[in-house]
A and B are shown apart, each in its own frame.
Chain A
Amino acid sequence: MLRTMWRIRVFEERVGELTRANEVHGLVHLSVGQEGVAAGVCGLLRPDDAVYSNHRAHGHAIAKGAPLGPLMAELMGRDGGLCRGLGGSMHLVDREHGLLGATGVVGGNVPLALGSALAGRLAGGDQVAVVFFGDGAVQGGIFVESVNLAALWRVPLLLVCENNGFAEFTPRSAHTVVERVSDVVAPYGFPRETVDGNDVVAVRAACAAFLEDARRGEGPFLLECLTHRLRGHYEGDPQRYRQALADEEWQELDPILRLQRLGAGEGWLDDAEPARLEQQAREEVEEAVRFARASPFPDPSLTAGLVYAS
């Protein structure tokens, strides 16, 4: 988990730099600060478990096993990207690793995951479907339409809300009077839990309990992870709508530092290990950047051939 979080953190910071250098273009949403959720949940999943993500997808993709080279190449719009450069940051798909789809419209991915969960049940296996969404998606009608069906049909679906307190640029208090996202599903009576999303151990423990039941065909479940989006909604967001956290506050919250403190305290992490992991991640990410830069841009005629499936 610590390795995964370091890989996400370093990757995201590098993407931020590349965005400012205009090597990564378009709208980019980073998940710095929210690594604990991706690592805690995806670390328990198998490649045949379907994961759906949203516009803030890089961390989920990395945690689900997507290779960093093609991932970075996709963000740079290269032919060697996960989607040959046609999707970009918001539309990452890696079928091999079970990352079935990241959608750019808030809440649009929730019924897709419901469909995957249903398909999994029809196929007769014990795979589950997991969908990540932000607290902003919960106010969308599509969310409750999907939740009613998931509860009615009892499908093995794990709804993971990354509640970072902001729907895009608007604080949660301006979106709803309901304090917890998990309260929105209260009328449906299925298991739900709210955890500190910056505590990767807590995320993993709650997720593991739900997954055990989901693999027996039960569901749905809602895991609400209270997180903090360290960066703006998108890269370049001036963030006039909120106060930055003081450094010392963030030191307390940072999921990576917390796990390292825990590891040191419990004695399973030696002092040099964090630096090694960070360094390893940096090397991998630099290799990914080299891979991406070496990959050509796709031939513009590619799009014409991709209108209809054949």
Chain B
Amino acid sequence: MPDALPKERLTWMLTQMVRIREFEERVKRTFEDHPGVIRGHTHLADGAEASIVGSLAALGPDDQLTATYRCHGYPIALGTDTKALMAEIYGKESGICKGYGGSMHLTDVGRGFLGTSGIVGQGIPHAAGVAWAAQIRGKGQVVLSFFGDGASKQGAFHETLNIASLWKLPVVFVMENNNYQAYTKVEQEDANAAVGEPLAVKAKAHSMPGVTVDGGDPVAVYEELHTAVERARAGDGPTLVESKVYRLSAHGNIIAPPGVPLHYPEHEAVKIFGNVEEYEAAQRGDPVPRFRARLVTEGTLSAEEADAIAEAAQKEMQAAVEFGLESPFPAPEKAVDYVYA
């Protein structure tokens, strides 16, 4: 168990959570305010902020991570310029990937955010490869592999956990279990969930620790990750951490051919399963106001300080939207760049 976190660290956590939320709300609002600016498929991290920030809080400066197409939150907390992130989502030349990747493929190699696969589960082996490289280099780096509950039914998950355990790779597998595999409830597609077991039991098959944590509590997530990261750093191998989160938006914006305006539908709990109660309970448990209230109640922050964090985030993300809108598109002939390194 790590020492209690100092005020600066807790403030940092809240700040990153608020920034991610504000960013995601701006992305969502872009569909209404600026139709056509965001194309394709966009996936938001609202509801998972505590899990993301608590996880990244356990990392050292040289540590690395890979994630999925639901990837906006990580680089924000890592310090990537939100202007470059928004511009990428808008398909602009000033984007973090120069407009080549879009929402699903945000990457910031300089900050250790090495890649986001758009295919469920396929980023997990990438993380193991990164960890192998770290093991070879021997500088004590640790890699986090973020993926969802749905990915744990992919062969790639099983194949990778086995190898990582066998080779004692310095990797921590962080499964953000939001209870929905896209539109399907986890108990409809997972043999463990169907009998009420936590998905962390899957670690048993690979002789590695498997723990489940409340992903709505950044400090709890930090503590579990800290233990797992230090275990990995010590050369004792990987851990599977199941972080229970609730995605507050739908899986993604609607999927439609060109010409049909895109928007965010209602959450699957309501839209498909008619379970309004479940969704409202999740909203009441929203980790961002929950953590803010805790810090204010515990006296870590004053309400004014917390408000200032929110205001700064609003200003920052407004500027990100404006930057994204104003930025030019890449020159069309650049389309054939980056075929061969």
Instruction: Report A-B touching, CB under 8 Å.
Output: yes
Interface residues of A (CB under 8 A from B): 139-145, 147-149, 151-152, 174-178, 183-189
Residue of A nearest to B154 (CB): A141
Residues of A within 8 Å of B195, CB to CB, are: 189
Query: 7 closest Cβ contacts across the A-B interface?
Result: A141-B155, A151-B191, A144-B158, A152-B191, A141-B159, A187-B201, A184-B205
- The distance from the CB of B267 to the nearest CB of chain A, in whole angstroms, is 24
B204 touches A183 (CB 8 A): yes
A184 to B166, CA, bound (A): 13
Inter-chain residue pair count (beta carbon < 8 A) = 69
Residues 69 to 128 of chain B near chain A (Cβ within 8 Å): none
* New A-B contacts (5) at CB < 8 Å, excluding given A144-B157, A187-B205: A144-B155, A152-B194, A176-B206, A184-B205, A188-B191
| Interface residue SS majority, chain B | helix
Write out, one digit per residue, whether chain B residues 254-269 have a CB within 8 A of any chain A CB (1) or not (0). Answer: 0000000000000000
**Cβ contacts under 8 Å, B194 to chain A:** 152
**Is B62 an interface residue, CB under 8 A from the partner?**
no
Contact A178:B155 (CB < 8 A) given known A152-B189, A188-B192: no
Residues of B within 8 A of A141 (CB): 154-159
Partner of B155, one of A140, A175, A185, A187: A140
Chain A facing B: main interface SS: helix
Residue contact B155 to A176, C-beta cutoff 8 Å: no
Is B202's CB within 8 Å of the partner chain A?
Answer: yes
B153 touching A145, Cβ below 8 Å: yes
Chain A residues closer than 8 Å to B156, beta-carbon distance: 141
Judged by a CB distance under 8 angstroms, whether B190 is at the interface is yes
Interface size on B, residues (CB 8 A): 25
CA distance A185 to B202 in the complex (A): 9
Is the pair A185, B205 in contact by a Cβ cutoff of 8 Å?
Answer: yes
Q: Is the beta-carbon distance between B205 and A152 smaller than 8 angstroms?
A: no
Question: Measured between alpha carbons, how far is A135 from B301 in the docked complex, in Å?
Answer: 57
- Residues on A with beta carbons closer than 8 Å to the beta carbon of B165: 176-178
Closest to A151 in B: B191
Interface contact B190-A148, CB-CB below 8 Å: yes
Pair B205/A144 contact, Cβ less than 8 Å: yes
Residue in A closest to B200 when the chains form the complex, CB atoms: A187
Of the A-B pairs whose beta carbons lie under 8 Å apart in the complex, a sample of 29, sorted by A's number, is A139-B158, A139-B162, A139-B163, A141-B155, A141-B158, A141-B159, A144-B157, A144-B205, A145-B154, A145-B158, A148-B153, A148-B190, A148-B191, A149-B191, A175-B162, A177-B166, A177-B207, A178-B206, A178-B207, A183-B205, A184-B205, A184-B206, A186-B204, A187-B197, A187-B201, A187-B202, A187-B203, A188-B191, A189-B191
Q: B190 contacts which chain A residues (CB < 8 A)?
A: 148, 152
With A140-B159, A145-B154 as known contacts, state yes or no: A178 contacts B205, CB within 8 Å.
Answer: yes
Decide yes or no: A175 and B204 within 8 Å by CB, A143-B158, A145-B154, A151-B191 being known contacts: no
B197-218 interface (Cβ within 8 A of A) = 197, 201-207
CA distance in complex: A148, B157 (Å): 13
Task: Tell me, in angstroms, the Cα distance from A190 to B193 when the chains sit together.
Answer: 14
CB distance from A125 to the nearest CB of B (A): 24
CA distance A183 to B203 in the complex (A): 11
Chain A residues within an 8 Å CB radius of B202 = 187
The interface residues of chain B lying within 8 Å CB-to-CB of A140 are 155, 159
When C-beta atoms are compared, the residue in chain B nearest to A186 turns out to be B204
Q: How far is the CA of A139 from the CA of B194 in the complex (A)?
A: 24
